[in-house]
A and B are shown apart, each in its own frame.
Chain A
């Protein structure tokens, strides 16, 4: 499982992208009550570094994170 942070050029919101082990891709809103966002925050709090990127436009998957 890998994370990547993108910023929407439309709203300016941060969006967390997650490459899942089964090949699916999730985008996670920065809502503190969202359990996936909570897991992301815990992942970062453990010292992991998540790369930033602009919103992908011509790739089928987000860039690899950690």
Chain B
């Protein structure tokens, strides 16, 4: 029989062979009464007669590994037992000193040979690499489109403009809503010394030191938030300030039971981080994180990232900056990547919520075809670049003369700003009012030689 003292054949294996003598035997060999053949490691065997250990070289000789010669013959009824342990070769154990630091891995670098693989950098992943000594190596960090639940977390997309005066609240950089109704801050796109992996970031510059409050938030619609239900999520963002900016701030992950919740919804905080301004560098970016459990009980149908900042002592011109905002599944913040992966993917993701035509690039550009519907009205259809979240609101400059139509060979300024006739998630029919035209004539509509003209389509939350 075989007695194994440790699972998985690790450690010492003890074999036992037993034989009932008939009398006169001087050799032990062959198969015992339990079907086990005699096999032992020479020098490691132990021979018992009726339970008494006998002495190697005196009472028996054992040199073959399969037979034992007794000095004295057995008598009938004797029980001969041979036990043998396999060698436990300590040299085959992997020394603990093979690893040198937290996170190191032991990897094979050949047959019966191992080596240490030092821990990888944060966010890297282990990949097979036939050219590496250990056959594997750390790679990345990888840029995985779709892992970031925040669209435009890198502040790459600025369809509405790149500088915003402190005179209104609403959406500035794409997808980010700003409550700035008290003329608190100007908001600008910046590109000087961004964090590694980014080209742009956003700066909030104090414009009103008497009411120093600002918030920045992004609403995540239900179709996106559902990925987080029942999971842990981690929010991360990089922050920097100028030397005289002084304030406290907090970022929150909020939930709402409302489907596709936005402004005006009821929000409940499920995670937050508060950091004093003294923890911020004036030259380097500092990353802050929140980890929170998102319930799967109908109370988190929508999610929101919400940053509140209240300055303590500051003067006009002080600023605070944000970059690389990310909300992802899991409890570990990983390297930033865009929700849409590529720049064009990010733009398309943002255009689900907002897109615009304007005269900023070409103030005399024509935007779409039209025809004259009545003697004072022109109609035309615009198709959006991507399907929008809902039938969008159309916003215009508010000045009718910023818009024009061409009918036949005649160009006419509009007498009223364009309005929607009907809208879907894919197209909007637009109405333009003009002084006079012939019904049925084809034409085009566009900017009336001004960069102020725009058609903004918003399906924001």
Contacts and interface: CB of A to CB of B under 8 A. Distances in A.
B390 A31 contact: yes
Nearest to A58: B415
A29 B420 CA distance: 7
Interface stretch (B23-31, B115-123, B258-266): B258-266
B433 A58 contact: yes
Interface size band for B: 35 or more
Interface stretch (B86-94, B145-153, B244-252, B371-379): B371-379
A29 B417 contact: no
A33 B262 CA distance: 11
A25 B395 contact: yes
Nearest to A19: B398
A47 B299 CA distance: 30
Contacts of A38: 264
B399 A27 contact: no
Contacts of B391: 29, 31, 33-34
B15 interface: no
B412 to A, nearest CB: 13
Interface string A1-32: 00000101111010101011111111111010
Contact of B167 (A22, A28, A37, A56): A22
A35 interface: yes
A34 B392 contact: yes
A31 B429 CA distance: 15
Contact of A23 (B389, B393, B398, B419): B398
A8 B399 contact: no
B417 A34 contact: no
Interface of B: 167-168, 260, 262-264, 373-374, 376-377, 379, 389-401, 415-423, 429, 431, 433, 435, 458-461
Interface of A: 6, 8-11, 13, 15, 17, 19-29, 31, 33-39, 42, 55-61
